[in-house]
């Protein structure tokens, strides 16, 4: 196959497959955070703070995939 | 001019904007060389603008200096004539500083919060003002011809150059180790090189209590392995901080560039709001995670083992 075609394929697969995991993770985090708030509405402040913190961890993994895709596009 | 207003905007303003929009949508695909614009090419490494004594000054360094000048200037202006009953600018900054201080105290406790506040607040203000100032209109539009004759942007958000997040991550790593060593002394290193339980088990075996000794040696081996993992995670943390901030900011900038050249006025306004929010959230996450790791480093090893969250 043409190297240019392979490169485009690689970029698309890297970006899209890499985002599946973090998207699922953030959805699960939101699910548990909402369950916690539903059980105990008074604790919604600390729950939200911790939810944002853990979401940052999960999102960082998606950003790694994005960086690989960007590097593939601009280098080589 | 009609005196009517639609959604608070005078009608003639709306008419002009609609005309511009229509004109852009119609003329764009036709590719007129007069009204056409070249496609934006985002560059990953920062471009050099000029040299000072052989040291290359890139446009992201200029962006960082711009942020520093703005922050220092604002702080100087506000603290010139401080009043007991603050004016608007002073109360805005009191709110900002008080909010970050409460955040430190909530996460780290009373006296630790006081100790960690300078580092955390510096990182927070630097990262967030870097991100926000790069959204000011005109920031990326000023071009200058550098020494080699290319036309480069004069200013670039400092967070989009990978060196700046790397340096911030290294600074936060150094401060975590410094505060850990200062609070716990040399016992802080027992978190990473945990030979205590293993040696205790060995001594038990040599004294003759073979059964209990071997059990203690085994759990001591696991403790050593956990120590190695902790050391590794300290260093991987540097990389993760760097790439999180760099990736978010660079992706945002590329997004804004592409959106602005895809459909001007309408499309990018949504992404501008998103970029404002992301700048703030990334600054909060960087400084918040630094604060959390500082707190973990300062608590005693016994407590840290029970509340081992990572």
From chain A residues 37-66, the ones with a CB under 8 A of any chain B CB are 52-53, 56, 59-60, 63-64, 66
Position B165 pLDDT exceeds 90: yes
Position B229 pLDDT exceeds 80: yes
Instruction: Please answer whether residues B143 and B153 qualify as being in contact, where contact means their C-beta atoms are separated by less than 8 angstroms.
Output: yes
pLDDT at B36: 57
Exposed, middle or buried: residue A27 (CB in 10 Å: 0-12, 13-18, 19+)?
A: exposed
pLDDT at A36: 95
For the segment B230-249, the average pLDDT, to the nearest whole number, is: 89
Cβ <8 Å between A70 and B44: yes
Question: How many structural domains compose chain B?
Answer: 1
From chain B residues 126-155, the ones with a CB under 8 A of any chain A CB are none
Give how far A18 is from chain B: nearest CA, Å: 14
Higher local confidence (pLDDT), B109 or B306: B109
pLDDT at B308: 41
Chains A, B: CB contacts within 8 A come to 36
Position B132 pLDDT exceeds 70: yes
Helix (H, G, I), strand (E, B) or coil at A34: helix
Cβ <8 Å between A53 and B292: yes
Distance from C-alpha of B227 to C-alpha of B191, rounded to nearest angstrom: 6
Nearest to A60 among B44, B244, B281 (CB): B244
pLDDT at B303: 45
Select the residue from B237, B285, B286 to test the A interface by mutation, using most A Cβ atoms within 10 A. Answer: B285
Residues of A in contact with B236 (CB under 8 A): none
pLDDT at B305: 45
Give how far B29 is from chain A: nearest CA, Å: 25
Give how far A63 is from chain B: nearest CA, Å: 6
pTM for the whole structure = 0.80
Structural domain contains residue B14: no
* Structural domain harbouring B258: 38-306
Cβ <8 Å between A67 and B247: yes
- Give B304's pLDDT tier (boundaries 50, 70, 90): very low
Chain B residue with minimum CA distance to A56: B285
**Which among A24, A27, A29, A19 has a CA at the least distance from the CA of A63?**
A19
Structural domain contains residue B20: no
Position B281 pLDDT exceeds 90: no
Which residue carries 């539903």 as its tokens? A38
> Please, which residues bridge with residue B52 across strands?
B55
* Domain locations along chain A: 12-74
For the segment B24-51, the average pLDDT, to the nearest whole number, is: 68
Average of per-residue pLDDT values in chain B? 82
Position A31 pLDDT exceeds 90: yes
pLDDT in tens, B52-90: 887 888 888 999 999 999 999 988 888 887 777 777 888
Give the largest Cα separation in chain B, rounded: 102
Residues of B in contact with A59 (CB under 8 A): 244, 248
Distance from C-alpha of B9 to C-alpha of B12, rounded to nearest angstrom: 9
Structural domain contains residue B168: yes
Structural domain contains residue B52: yes
Q: What is the DSSP string of B74-106?
A: HHHHHTTS--SS--HHHHHHHHHHHHHHHHHHH
Query: For the domain bounded by A12-74, which CATH number is listed?
Result: 1.20.20.10
Chain B residue with minimum CA distance to A63: B247
Element at B145 (helix H, strand E): strand B143-145
Position B307 pLDDT exceeds 50: no
Structural domain contains residue B248: yes
Structural domain contains residue B19: no
Position B144 pLDDT exceeds 70: yes
ipTM beyond 0.85?
no
Nearest to A63 among B247, B288, B292 (CB): B247
For the segment B227-235, the average pLDDT, to the nearest whole number, is: 88
A73 touches chain B (CB under 8 A): no
Exposed, middle or buried: residue A69 (CB in 10 Å: 0-12, 13-18, 19+)?
A: buried
Structural domain contains residue B294: yes
A76 touches chain B (CB under 8 A): no
């Amino acid at each position: 196959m043409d190297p240019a075609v392979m490169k485009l394929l690689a970029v698309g697969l890297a970006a899209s497959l890499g985002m599946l995991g973090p998207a699922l993770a953030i959805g699960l985090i939101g699910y548990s955070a909402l369950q916690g708030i539903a059980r105990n509405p008074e604790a919604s402040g600390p729950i939200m703070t911790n939810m944002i913190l853990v979401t940052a961890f999960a999102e960082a993994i998606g950003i790694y995939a994005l960086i690989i895709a960007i590097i593939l596009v601009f280098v080589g | 001019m009609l005196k009517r207003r639609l959604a608070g905007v005078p009608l003639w303003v709306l008419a002009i904007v609609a005309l511009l929009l229509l004109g852009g949508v119609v003329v764009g695909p036709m590719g007129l060389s007069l009204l056409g614009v070249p496609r934006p090419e985002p560059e990953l490494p920062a471009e050099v603008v000029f040299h000072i004594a052989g040291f290359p000054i890139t446009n992201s360094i200029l962006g960082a200096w711009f942020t520093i000048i703005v922050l220092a200037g604002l702080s100087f202006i506000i603290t010139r004539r401080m009043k007991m009953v603050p004016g608007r600018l002073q109360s805005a900054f009191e709110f900002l500083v008080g909010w970050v201080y409460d955040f430190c105290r909530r996460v780290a406790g009373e006296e630790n919060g006081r100790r960690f506040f300078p580092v955390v607040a510096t990182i927070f203000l630097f990262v967030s003002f870097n991100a926000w100032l790069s959204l000011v209109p005109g920031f990326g539009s000023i071009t200058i011809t550098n020494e080699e004759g290319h036309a480069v942007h004069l200013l670039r958000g400092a967070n989009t150059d990978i060196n700046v997040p790397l340096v911030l991550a290294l600074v936060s790593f150094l401060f975590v180790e410094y505060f850990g060593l200062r609070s716990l002394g040399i016992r802080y290193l027992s978190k990473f090189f945990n030979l205590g339980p293993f040696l205790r088990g060995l001594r038990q075996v040599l004294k003759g209590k073979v059964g209990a000794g071997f059990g203690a040696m085994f759990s001591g081996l696991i403790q050593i392995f956990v120590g190695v993992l902790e050391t590794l995670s300290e260093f991987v943390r540097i990389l993760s901080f760097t790439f999180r901030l760099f990736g978010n900011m660079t992706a945002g900038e590329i997004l804004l560039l592409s959106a602005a050249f895809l459909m001007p006025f309408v499309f990018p306004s949504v992404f501008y709001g998103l970029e404002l929010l992301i700048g703030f959230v990334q600054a909060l996450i960087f400084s918040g995670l630094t604060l959390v790791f500082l707190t973990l480093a300062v608590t005693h090893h016994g407590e840290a083992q029970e509340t081992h969250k990572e």
